[in-house]
């Protein structure tokens, strides 16, 4: 597997892009192919070259709870609507963190309040959709989540909040893998 860093337009080679081979994969040991524990760390064979296109973002605080109604940035190359094709160009927009109990009420058994976070969004501005999985949820300049899932055929229906893997829950596991 190859990771591409510094990309903006996936349909062409850009001078900003770095293609790096993956040396090791670290899926979470509790991941079962469904929504829960949907997180994996990749170890690259070589270090990335840091520049204005490729920068570290850091990790959230261990107790870093993101309160409801905070605006966060999401980004990805996924669809811009349920019936649209994926984007060649990286897109970003804002989504607002929603109360966990609201997400639990809608997603029921598919939403675990302990290690998931969800957002509401404005249909006009758009939000995450199929193809954006693995993308960031950045709140107050810190990553708080990783895009996990949306309503399969209605990603742009505000009735269904968007769901992210909650990063701060996984910090002990991430730090353990980083020490190996």
CA atoms within 13 A on the CB side of 37: 10
Residue with tokens 């520049």: 51
pLDDT band of 43, cuts 50, 70, 90:
very high
The 10s digit of each residue's pLDDT in 117-159 is: 999 998 888 899 999 999 999 999 999 999 999 998 889 899 9
pLDDT at residue 111 in the model: 96
pLDDT at residue 124 in the model: 83
In the chain, what percentage of residues exceed pLDDT 90?
A: 84
Say yes or no: 75 and 161 in one domain.
yes
Share the mean pLDDT of the chain: 93
Average pLDDT over residues 31-43: 92
CA atoms within 13 A on the CB side of 145: 30
Average pLDDT over residues 21-33: 95
Say yes or no: 19 and 99 in one domain.
no
The Cα 16–Cα 10 span in angstroms is 12
Say yes or no: 78 and 155 in one domain.
yes
66 is a domain residue? no
Residue 132: give its domain's CATH number: 2.40.10.10
Question: What's the 3-state SS for 44-75?
Answer: ECCCCCCCCCCCCCCCCCCCCCCCCCCEEEEE
Q: What are phi and psi of 24, to 5 degrees?
A: -150, 150
Domain range for 24 is 2-57+171-179
62 is a domain residue? no
- Specify the pTM: 0.92
Q: What does the angle CA 79 – CA 127 – CA 62 come to, to the nearest 5 degrees?
A: 120
Say yes or no: 136 and 175 in one domain.
no
The 10s digit of each residue's pLDDT in 49-91 is: 999 999 999 899 877 788 999 999 999 999 988 788 999 999 9
User: DSSP code of 111?
Assistant: -
Asked whether the predicted pLDDT for residue 106 surpasses 90, the reply is yes
96 is a domain residue? yes
pLDDT at residue 34 in the model: 85
63 is a domain residue? no
Give me the number of domains the chain comprises.
2
């Amino acid at each position: 597997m190859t990771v591409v860093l510094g990309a903006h337009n996936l349909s062409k080679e850009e001078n900003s892009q770095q293609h790096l081979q993956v040396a090791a994969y670290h899926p979470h040991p509790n991941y079962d192919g469904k929504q829960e524990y949907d997180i994996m760390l990749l170890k690259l064979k070589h270090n990335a070259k840091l520049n204005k296109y490729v920068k570290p973002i850091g990790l959230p605080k261990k107790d870093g709870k993101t309160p409801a109604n905070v605006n966060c940035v999401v980004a990805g190359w996924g669809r811009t609507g349920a019936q649209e094709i994926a984007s060649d160009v990286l897109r970003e927009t804002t989504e607002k963190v929603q109360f966990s109990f609201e997400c639990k009420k809608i997603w029921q058994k598919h939403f675990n309040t302990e290690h998931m976070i969800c957002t509401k969004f404005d249909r006009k501005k758009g939000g995450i959709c199929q193809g954006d999985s693995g993308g960031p949820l950045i709140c107050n300049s810190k990553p708080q989540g990783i895009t996990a899932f949306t309503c399969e055929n209605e990603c742009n229906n505000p009735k269904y909040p968007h769901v992210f893997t909650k990063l701060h829950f996984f910090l002990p596991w991430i730090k353990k893998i980083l020490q190996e």
